Amino acid sequence: MLLQCAPVCQTCHQLNFEQRCPYDENAPKIWGPGDLNKMFERLTTEEYYIQRFEPTILSQPPEGPWVITLENVATEEQCKRVIQLGADRGYERSQDVGAKKFDGTFDAVTQKTRTSHNTWCLDECNEDETHQNVLRNVENITGIPDTNSEYWQLLQYGETQHYAVSCFVFFLSAGFCIVYTRVYNIIFSISLIIIFAFSIRRLSEPSRLYPFPS
């Protein structure tokens, strides 16, 4: 309402995205140079992570970028609960970012390159105890707190549905006031549900995690 009726509500200053979501230059940096590589080395060499998550290296420098899988990230019951949370919120056709609008947000466009259905884990979903427990597990793996994350995006892929090759260099979450460069993605696989979070992503075998740099 404050954006759509700004003149009447006397909130025209909120039409400026930089005013609504100012960049905090004093915010602490979670990672420094080389920390991405250190995370993957920690996950694939330290005994705690090897025993708990059974990492498998699919690719690593210098032959290619880091791509690994981690097992046992969530229990079967946790997976079922996350699936139910997505169903409770309801799924709609996935859309991509379109043209920039006057208020700094972006139009949504439906494209043939992305044919899944999605919803966002907000409100009751985000506050759900099971979701929070899985999120803590992801924080433990990445070493990055939830405050440096967007809300989880839950995606549902049916037979023949797909997401074409894409590149996330800069991402603007217009609805949630988040502007950032994606550092890496985590694909979290729960049956036919794919969960995207953090600058992270998740996807086809229960509780398997696929971390890889963006």
Average pLDDT score over residue span 79-107: 83
Task: Give the start-to-end residue ranges of the domains of the chain.
Answer: 32-213
- Give dist(CA 74, CA 136) in Å, integer: 11
Question: Using only C-alpha atoms, what is the Rg of the chain?
Answer: 18
Separation of CA 56 from chain center: 22
Looking at residues 163-169, what average pLDDT do you find? 56
Q: Are 183 and 36 in contact (CB under 8 A)?
A: yes
Query: In this structure, which topology does domain 32-213 adopt according to CATH?
Result: Jelly Rolls (2.60.120)
Give the number of other Cβ atoms within 10 Å of residue 33's Cβ: 6
The pLDDT tens digits of the residues spanning 28-82 come to 777 788 888 999 999 999 999 999 999 999 889 999 888 888 888 888 899 889 8
Query: Residue 43: its pLDDT value, please?
Result: 93
Q: Backbone phi, then psi, for 127, in 5-degree steps?
A: -85, -5
- DSSP string of 158-189, one letter each residue: -TT--B-----SSEEETTTTEEE---EEEEEE
The closest alpha carbon to 213, from 70, 52, 47, 61, belongs to 61
- The whole-angstrom separation of Cα 164 and Cα 161 is 10
Q: What percent of the chain has pLDDT over 70?
A: 70
Residue 182 pLDDT: 60
- Percent of residues, the chain, with pLDDT higher than 90: 21
**β strands within the chain, DSSP E:** 56-59, 67-69, 92-93, 96-100, 106-109, 117-120, 150-156, 171-173, 178-180, 184-190, 193-198, 208-213
